[in-house]
Chain A
C-alpha cells in the first residue's frame, strides 16, 4: 500500500495539535463531549470479518462513510478489503490519499464539479461510479475523455431500497448498453445494495427481504448477460445482511462499512461486531428527578434511524428513560437511586454513530481506557473542503 499522503498526515498533525494533550491520559479526563474509538474493538471487528472471508464467495470492499477516518480505512485494507467504497467524491479522494488503489463511489455524481473530481482521481486509482441515467453516463463519459482517464461504471439497480437505481431489468439493460458504447467508461457490472433490509428489525423478515432482493438482482444480471452486456461485478450487502449475501455465489463484492466501527443500531441486528465508537460526556445538572448531559442532537445527531429507535443512552445506566433530547442537552429521568452527580464523566452509547461522526473533527483513540492517539475525520461534513482544487493542482 502507498504511504499516507500529506493531506492525511497534515490533518493528523493538526488534530493531534488541537487535542493531543489528552494522549496518555484517561478518556475520562478529556474535554467533553468527545468521540471515542476503541482500538482493540476495531481490531476485533476487522479480524472477525477477515476470518469469515475465506468461506464467503465475494471480495470485501469496505465502506468508509460510517467512520470517515483515513486511518480506519487503511486498517480495512490491511484486513482483507481489496478496495474501499465511498458515499461522495470527496470521501473517495481522501481514501485514495489514504492508500486505496480501488474506490467505488456508490452514488450518482450528477454534477460537473464532482464528475471532474472523479475523473481526475482516476489518474491515481481505479475509480468506479454508480449510474442509473443515460444522460448522466454521457456527461461522465465526456468528463473522462476530457481528462484522459477511464471510469469504471456500475449500473445501480433498485433491489428494494426505492432510492436511486433503475427500476427494471429492461432499464438496466438500456443504461448498461449506453455505458458500453460511451468512450472513457468501462461497464463493470451492477450495484444493488439491499439497504432496505437494514430497516427491517425482524430477523426472519430481514432474511426473506434479503433473499428476494438478491434473487431479483441476479435476475437483472442474467438479463444483461443474455443480451450482450457482461456484468463481471455484482456489488451488494450491508453489515446487517453481509453473511447471507456473502454466501450467494453470484455476488462478487460486499460493500459493507458499519462492521468496523459499529453503532448501536446495527448492533441490535448483528451482535458479532462490537461497538467500537462511543462518546464521553459530562453530567452538567442533577435535579431530583432527572440528570442532564452536555451533549444533544448537535453532537449525536438523532435518536432515530428513520422511524426506528436507536437508543442513545448512558453506559452503566442504560435503564434510565430518556426525557428529551435538545440541541446541546440530553435529559434522562433519574430518581434518588441513580448515583450520577454533577461533574461525572461517563461513556455514552451514541445510537447511530454516522450522524455523530459528521459533526466531529476527530476521534480520541483509546486502548484500555487511555487515549493513545487522535485521528482526523475526513472529509468533515458535506462540503468538499478544497479537495477538488487539490486534485486540479496535481497534489
Chain B
C-alpha cells in the first residue's frame, strides 16, 4: 500500500483537533451521541475473516460502504483483502488516496462528472466499475479516452436482487462485446451480489438460494468464455453468504463489507463476527415506565437499534430521541451512558463525521468518516486540479 495522501491525513488531523478532549477518556466521559469503534473487536473480525479465507480459492475484496473509513479500509487490506469495493466513485477516490490501489466501484456510474472522476482516478489507481447498459459503457469509454486512462469494466448480474444488472447470457454477451470493443475500457468479468439471500434468515434456505444464484452467475461466465470473452473476475457474496459463495467453483473473489463492523441484521446471518461499531448515547429523561436517549433516527438511522446489555423494548424512535420501555426495577437513570447496537450500522455512519476509536476501554484516536454524505463534487475538482 502507498502511504495515505494529504486528503486523508488532513481530514484525520482536522477531526482529531475537533474532538481532542475525548482522547484518553473512557466511554462514560464522552459527549453523546458518539460513534464508537472498538479496535479489539474490529481486529478479531478481520482475523476471523482472514482465517476463513485461508481455506478457500477466492480472494477477499472488502466493501467499504459499511464504514467509510480509510483507516479501517487499510486495516482490511493489511489483513489480506486484495482491494476494496465501493458504492460510489467518491468512496473510490478516498480509498485510493488512502493508499489502496485496487478499487472497484461495485455500482453503475452514470453522469458526465462521475464518469470523468472515475477516468481521472484510473490514472493513479487500478479502477474498476460495473455496468448493465450500453449507455453507461459509452459514457465511461468517452471519459476514459478524454482522460487518457483505462477503466476495468465488469457486467452487473441480477441473480434475484431485482435492482440493477442483466439477468441472462443473452443480455450479457452483446454488452461484453461492446465493452471489449470500446476504447479506454477493459472487459474484466462479472459482478453479481446475491443480496436477496441476505434477507433470508433461515441458514439452510439462504445457502440454497446462494448456490442457485452462483449457478446463474457462473453459468453466464461460462457462456461468455465460450464466446471468446473470458471472465478474469467473477465477484460476489456479502457477509450473509460468504461461506458458501467463497467455495463455489467459478467465483474468483468475494465482496463482503459488514463483517468488519457488524450490525443487528448481519448478526442474525453470521453471529461469529462481533459488534465493532456502536453509538454511544445518554439517558436524558427517566420516567417511571420509560427511558429517553439523546440519539434518534437522525443519529442511528432508519433501521433503529437496541441497547447493548439491556433487553428493553423499543417504544418509539423520533428524530433526536429514542424511547425504550422500562420499569422501576431498571437501574438506568438520567445521565447514564449506554451503547446502541444499530440494526443497520451503515445508516448511522453517514450521519457522523468521525469515529471515537477505543482500545481497552479508552479513546486512543479519532478517525474521519470519508466521504461524508452523498455529495462530493469537490473530490472531482481535486482530481481535475491534479491534486
Contact = CB atoms under 8 A, between A and B. Distances in A.
Nearest to A289: B162
Interface string B302-326: 1000000000000111111101000
Interface string A233-273: 00000000000000000000000000000000000000000
B19 interface: yes
A297 interface: yes
B374 A327 contact: no
Contact of A343 (B32, B135, B286): B135
B301 A167 contact: no
Contacts of B132: 285, 287
Contacts of A192: none
B321 A386 contact: no
Interface string A311-335: 0000000000001101111010000
B228 interface: no
B280 to A, nearest CB: 10
Contacts of B295: 382
Contact of A31 (B319, B335, B377): B377
A31 B163 contact: no
Interface in B281-312: 282-288, 290, 292, 294-295, 297-299, 301-302
A65 B301 contact: no
A286 interface: yes
Interface in B27-85: 31-35, 65
Nearest to A32: B111
Interface string A156-180: 0010001111010000000000000
B353 A163 contact: no
A1 interface: no
A240 to B, nearest CB: 14
Interface in A58-84: 65
A76 B375 CA distance: 26
A183 B118 CA distance: 61
Contacts of A292: 108, 163-164
Interface in B324-350: 334-335, 346-347, 350
Given A18-B377, A382-B299, A298 B17 contact: no
Contacts of B65: 327-328
Given A19-B378, A136-B334, A383-B19, A359 B351 contact: yes
Contact of B352 (A87, A342, A382): A382
Contact of A164 (B285, B319, B335): B285
B375 A163 contact: no
Contact of B108 (A284, A299, A384): A284
A110 B32 CA distance: 10
A163 B318 contact: yes
A294 B31 contact: no
Nearest to B295: A382
B110 A290 contact: no
Contacts of B284: 107-110, 164
B241 interface: no
B136 to A, nearest CB: 6
A380 interface: yes
A329 B297 CA distance: 19
A283 interface: yes
A38 interface: no
Interface in A98-121: 107-111, 113-114
A210 interface: no
Given A342-B136, A361-B375, A386 B317 contact: no
B374 A295 contact: yes
A381 B110 contact: no
B205 to A, nearest CB: 19
Given A163-B292, A284-B164, A327-B65, A87 B320 contact: yes
A301 B298 CA distance: 8
Given A87-B320, A324-B163, A327-B346, A19 B375 contact: yes
Given A163-B323, A382-B351, A283 B110 contact: yes
A158 B346 CA distance: 33
Interface in B88-120: 88, 107-111, 113-114
Interface in A127-155: 132-133, 135-136
Contacts of B107: 284, 328
A306 interface: yes
Nearest to A68: B298
User: Nearest 10 CB-CB pairs, A to B?
Assistant: A302-B302, A164-B285, A18-B378, A285-B164, A386-B18, A284-B108, A284-B110, A108-B284, A110-B284, A358-B298
Given A19-B375, A163-B316, A298-B350, 8 more contacts: A136-B334, A284-B136, A301-B347, A359-B373, A360-B374, A382-B299, A383-B354, A385-B353
Interface of A: 17-19, 21-22, 30-35, 65, 87-88, 107-111, 113-114, 132-133, 135-136, 158, 162-165, 167, 195, 282-287, 290, 292, 294-295, 297-299, 301-304, 306, 323-324, 326-329, 331, 341-343, 345, 354-355, 358-362, 380-386, 388-389
